[in-house]
Amino acid sequence: MNFAEHLIETADGPKVYVRDYAEEGSVRGLPVICLHGLTRNSTDFEAVAPQIAAQGRRVIAIDARGRGHSDNDPDATRYRPDVYVGDVWRIMDTLGIPRAVLLGTSMGGIMSMLAAVINSPRVAAVILNDIGADVDPAGIARISSYVGKAEPFASWDEAAVAVKATQSVAFPEKDDNFWRTFTRRVARERADGRIELAYDPAIANAFSETPSAPPPTMMPLFVALATRPVLLIRGALSDLLSRDGVAAMKRAKPDMEFVEVPNVGHAPTLEEPEARSAIASFLAHVE
């Protein structure tokens, strides 16, 4: 295991789990805090975190409350990005990190933009993974169709089949080995031996069963990043971040760096060569 583990109590009670990867060699930049998507957890970054640590940066990967090894929240109304951002500040304070680069996938990207609005000095730079100023309703509808609705599975093989059924649209060319690894990241074994997805089903309360209107624009949040470096990563098959959405972000921030990952939808795992290279290059020239 190449990371330390922490369980940190939040301001309102639930404890959140953190993976803490030490920088390799001398420190060559600010820590990078990795924030996962809606149904994911810190294992999302188990491949990219060591690569960032090799660049001389400490890496913090968080299980948001209700995911992975973190506590479920007894009050499901607190499953919100602003609450999660408050947890990030708590983690940073506890671990002695005054300022950091934020790497956010999907929901984690929304958290990253919101963090820059709430406490701008603490956010040095942002990497957004397949999320932007505007969210495509098609992607929201697809996600809401399956989040919180899966029953426990009898085996890991059965779980992998089910996970592939809902996620293969994003990874159409992946083999069985990929799906076994992916499933181990998004699911966990219960005490009774059955396999469940590694999140509290109550996180689905944030979604309407039948979204009746486009989600509100997040352009005001994105504009808050105007004075700091930003890298945007998009899956070429994404149904959540459109090419038109990327173009609007480029108009709002012409110096934004951008890379598109071929043959992947929402969201790249960041193990892809294009994503890995872009992240390394970006981090080589920011604080």
Length of the chain, in residues: 287
Alpha-carbon span 66 to 74, nearest angstrom: 9
Alpha-carbon span 237 to 152, nearest angstrom: 29
Q: What is the pLDDT of residues 5-41, one digit of tens each?
A: 999 999 999 999 999 999 999 999 999 999 999 999 9
Q: Give how far Cα 69 sits from Cα of 56, 60, 185, 207, Å.
A: 27, 15, 12, 23
Looking up tokens 């299980």 gives 63
Looking up tokens 């999320």 gives 131
- Residue 71's pLDDT is 98
- What average pLDDT score do residues 69-90 get? 97
Which position has the higher pLDDT, 158 or 213?
Answer: 158
- What average pLDDT score do residues 148-176 get? 95
CB distance 221 to 249 below 8 Å: no
- Residue 214's pLDDT is 72
Q: What is the pLDDT of residues 89-125, one digit of tens each?
A: 999 999 999 999 999 999 999 999 999 999 999 999 9
- Residue 209's pLDDT is 44
- Residue 263's pLDDT is 97
Q: Residue 267: is the preceding peptide bond cis (ω within 30°)?
A: yes
Domains defined along the chain, listed by start: 4-136+214-284 (3.40.50.1820)
283: pLDDT confidence band, cut at 50, 70 and 90?
very high
Nearest 10 degrees: Cα torsion 223, 229, 232, 233: -160
- What average pLDDT score do residues 73-91 get? 97
Q: What is the pLDDT of residues 172-221, one digit of tens each?
A: 999 999 999 999 999 999 999 999 999 999 999 876 544 556 788 999 99
- Residue 231's pLDDT is 98
The SS3 of residue 167 is helix
Is the model's pLDDT at 145 over the cut of 90?
no
Tokens at residue 155, please? Answer: 């085996």
What does the mean pLDDT of the chain come to? 95
Q: Strands, E, within 106-149: which ranges?
A: 123-129
Q: What is the pLDDT of residues 235-275, one digit of tens each?
A: 999 999 999 999 999 999 999 999 999 999 999 999 999 99
- Residue 285's pLDDT is 97
Helical spans, DSSP H, in 187-272: 219-223, 243-252
